[in-house]
Amino acid sequence: MAFICEQLSRTFGEYLLLPEFSSTDCVPSNVRLDTALVKYRKGETPAICLKIPMVSAIMQSVSDNNMAVALAKEGGLSFIYCSQPVDKQAEMVRMAKKYKTGFVVSDSNLMINATLADVLALKQKTGHSTIMVTDDGASGGKLLGMITTRDYRTSRTPIDTPVSEFMTRFENLICARDGISLSHANDLIWDKKLNALPVIDQEDRLKYIVFRKDYEMHKENENEMLDESKSYLVGAGINTRDYAERVPALVNAGADVLCIDSSEGFTEWQKITINYIRENYGDSVKVGAGNVVDKEGFLFLAESGADFVKVGIGGGSICITREQKGLGRGQATSLMEVCQARDEYFEKTGVYIPVCSDGGIVYDYHMTLALAMGADFVMLGRYFSRFDESPTRKVNINGTYMKEYWGEGSNRARNWQRYDMGGETKLSFEEGVDSYVPYAGRLKENVRITLQKVKSTMCNCGSLSIKELQSKARLTIVSPTSIVEGGSHDVLVKNSSVSEHALY
């Protein structure tokens, strides 16, 4: 008969942290959340460290170039989704890498025959108020004009007014030629009192835009994840099917780290994929692998050469793998076993392989629990899908604004490379659902609120770093009735804003 694991399969919701003695130094402003992203040897410094322990999931509805930039500004990292053509994913990586240098590739462009209605629709879609008018409506077209909110008033300008009647025409724009340094471009912006400076080539084709707000934002974002060229760090997902084509394209586009996107990582396919990377790039290309739920899975990926290992099967809010296949394990139990295996591996080999907890996060405090249980960082899908920066539509459902959110195992994603065991470009059956999540606004404000909660809890545990939390934390299992006791009860709540912030 089959082996039966007697240990209960537990989730984050079944645990609470016990408080520890905290000194006067234990205040949130003293807490450091930096953590290793990729493996390193004892006594060495990791090649890549996160400033905050958060990465965004490899999902169509979560991680594109806009999310990559927004999260890197806060100190985290995105893995741009791979369930798309190779060239499109590589272009997203390229756009994100170009962003930090200050030279932004415009993603809000119209042709000269567009109207104010098109302007408003594009603004609603991208969230950007600066729109470039080019001869072909593309970011590399010949620049004809620029539109900002100062060029029109919706209360006075008819909706069918052609953009040619209210845009700032090319001959009236102050532009810079391609090749200008960022320092010179910023000087020009300040000297000429500009909000945006178009950069064009010798044929007047639009190359980039330099924004005043990016310069000001850089001064505010002390945790930015930057490479040696002052560009944002960007991750990218790969699969075990077309890696020989996808990996070179992503590396050439500038991806800083890769991660195999798979619902289950204890397979020879992952070893073959990692071997390809090591044979062609050595250790210069970093790649994470997963997902696994136990010691055996971790050791397999560790010996295969993974730079970090993802933990979790079936715990995501849109994942129905457990329902469809009866496969998986409670996230808390999985994480603690894998992290113990990681520590034993480090003790034995002197090589530390970071662990990423992927899935099962429902409340903000679950992130702190994951870190206390041994995770070096967490991968989040639903959390980030709620923000302006995610690539999905914001829609009004029964008077409430929501964002679309679907799983990579859903029919909508059609990610056969991740889930199907055959070679046909189809899904045999679905392992994810198509859904909505409550719209939550901008990433920056939400992430900072979440991290304040994490830091505050760490202080209650007498810890000023993630490693200290892991060494000091004490956990208790909670009963169903104590879970009820932990929330508001036996009262009529006047304002539910607290619970809305807590639950995604």
Q: Which of 246, 418, 459, 461 is catalytic?
A: 418
Q: Residue 342 and residue 344: Cα distance in Å, rounded?
A: 5
- The runs of H, that is alpha helices, within 259-403 are 268-281, 295-304, 321-325, 331-349, 364-372, 382-385
- Is 459 labeled as catalytic in the residue annotation? no
Strands 196-200 and 206-211: antiparallel
| Structural tokens at position 436 | 């909505």
The torsion of the CA quartet 19, 24, 27, 31, rounded to 10 degrees, works out to -90
Exposure class string for 11-32: b at 16+ Cβ within 10 A, else e: bbbbbbbeebeeeeebeeeebe
- Is 418 labeled as catalytic in the residue annotation? yes
Give the side-chain half-sphere CA count within 13 A for 401: 9
Q: Which of 26, 82, 259, 319 is catalytic?
A: 319
The three-state (H, E, C) secondary structure of 200-226, written as one string: ECCCCEEEEEEEHHHHHHHHHCCCCCE
Q: Residue 491 and residue 301: Cα distance in Å, rounded?
A: 50
Q: Which of 409, 411, 415, 261 is nearest to 321 (CA)?
A: 409
Q: Residue 220 and residue 232: Cα distance in Å, rounded?
A: 15
| Structural tokens at position 94 | 């390229």
Hey, what amino acid is at 463? S
Residues labelled as active-site residues: 319, 418
